[in-house]
Chain A
Amino acid sequence: MKEIVIDPITRLEGHGNVSIFLNDKGEVENAYLKIPELRGFEKFCIGRKAELMPQLTSRICGVCPVAHHFAATKALDAAFNVEPPSAAKKLRELMYSAYYIYDHTLHFY
């Protein structure tokens, strides 16, 4: 069966490639997306200091670090069993809104 390989897929954040298999008639029989990338954050974050998580997990993706930073921050709120004060919530929202604009601008250009 004829195989068309697109390696790598480009213009996005991350690693991937695609294999498309064609049958005798030249029609697509099946296609596979392959992800050749794993770093293992799920494992190496275990045993690190809790307060390091926003910094560590923001390295999951340097294009959307703010989302990972806040996910970890919210996890810490839960772990420490605290309710952030109103000012902190507003600061987080401001940061996220600014990031929203930044990220859309980035993708636009």
Chain B
Amino acid sequence: MSEKLKIAFYWAASCGGCEIAVLDLNEKILDVVALADIVFWPVAIDIKYKDVEAMPEKSIDITFFNGSIRNSEQEHMAKVLREKSKTLVAFGSCAHQGSVPGLANLNDKKEIFDQVYMKDLSNVNPKSTTPQTQTKVKEGTLNIPEFYDTVKTLAQTVDVDYYLPGCPPPVKLIAAAIEAIKSNKLPPKGSVLAPLKAVCDECPRKRENKKIGKIYRVYDKTPEPEKCLLEQGILCLGLATRSGCGAQCLNVDMPCTGCGGPAPNVPDQGAAMMSALASILGYDGEPGKTKYTEKEIEELLSQVKDPVGTFFMYSLPASILKRKVIKK
């Protein structure tokens, strides 16, 4: 390769964990530096938005964009980086599916502001001040971005070329993506850069295809180490979730909560998990029973607490639900 690639990293509504995942490449980060010049990375190098805005179109080879789109600044940067980049990668669960910040789609802007700036016990806010996009001060006007009612994924905002799933993406997936870039072997546009498997395919636990009658919270019991957690009644999203993580939560007796996003060929992760659960939920003592009364179904389903938070913890904005309806 005669000329080094130009790479950018950016964070929108995120936690910084994706940045740490890049650093967790450890010595492999030297490959990245050997391969590419990093032209923009707010957490690590001092380049301003105006410098990025002044870059020529398509002058960045690859931008790794993490975080969901929560406010107007993030939307603006998504558009700027799309225009400046030949390839745009939605990096991590927030950019890919909306992730944990996307749970805010169960509320709107007003409800969030009320809680954060008024109701929270740590507040002293007698004038009920909330963030305004423009604030007049005696020296001039201060601007901050507009906070939107709805969290969006990167692909709901601009055209995205690839997706690196996970919260954060597992180091081996990042390393594989870097390797694919290096050897010019990236898959077709729109691909998710992770194995074509579900978490269950990487999980060492044994499934017996049995019904479950009782759902347990993780603190209710110590699971048997070799058996499928779902079949022990502990809600686990492994069936509906993309692999690449090596089922590491399952290896420490914790259920999958779904950070990898939808499994291959699953259009909606939460819906797929609910559908899977519906097919195995039943009276475990009566394996032949196929007909259930409404009351019995209600009784079985009522064991699932907070279904939205459980099945859509990482995917609400990308799901068919998207958000709770805003009543005007």
Binding site for B on A (CB under 8 A): 1, 3, 6-8, 10-15, 19, 21, 29-30, 32, 34-40, 42-44, 46-49, 51-52, 55-56, 59-63, 65, 80, 106
Contacts and interface: CB of A to CB of B under 8 A. Distances in A.
Interface stretch (B79-87, B106-114, B174-182, B197-205): B106-114
Contact of B13 (A30, A34, A37, A55): A37
Chain B contact residues (Cβ within 8 angstroms of A): what range?
Answer: 35 or more
Contacts of B116: 38, 40, 42-43
Interface string B137-158: 1111011110100000000000
Contact of B46 (A3, A10, A39, A49): A10
A44 B111 CA distance: 10
B45 interface: yes
B113 to A, nearest CB: 8
A51 B120 contact: no
Interface in B248-286: 257
Contacts, number: 132
B73 A59 contact: no
Interface stretch (B17-25, B57-65, B291-299): B17-25
A19 B17 contact: no
A36 B144 contact: yes
Given A1-B140, A10-B45, A52-B313, 19 more contacts: A10-B47, A10-B48, A21-B139, A30-B138, A32-B137, A32-B142, A35-B144, A38-B147, A39-B101, A44-B106, A44-B107, A46-B115, A48-B309, A49-B217, A56-B100, A56-B313, A59-B17, A61-B16, A65-B17
B33 interface: no
A8 B48 contact: yes
A62 B140 contact: no
B103 A44 contact: yes
Contact of A40 (B11, B44, B112, B310): B112
Interface of B: 11, 13-21, 23, 42-50, 70-71, 73, 99-101, 103-104, 106-107, 111-112, 115-116, 120, 131, 137-140, 142-145, 147, 167-168, 217-219, 257, 305-306, 309-310, 313
Tell me what chain A mostly uses at the interface: helix, strand, loop, or mixed: loop
A40 B49 contact: no
Contacts of B138: 30
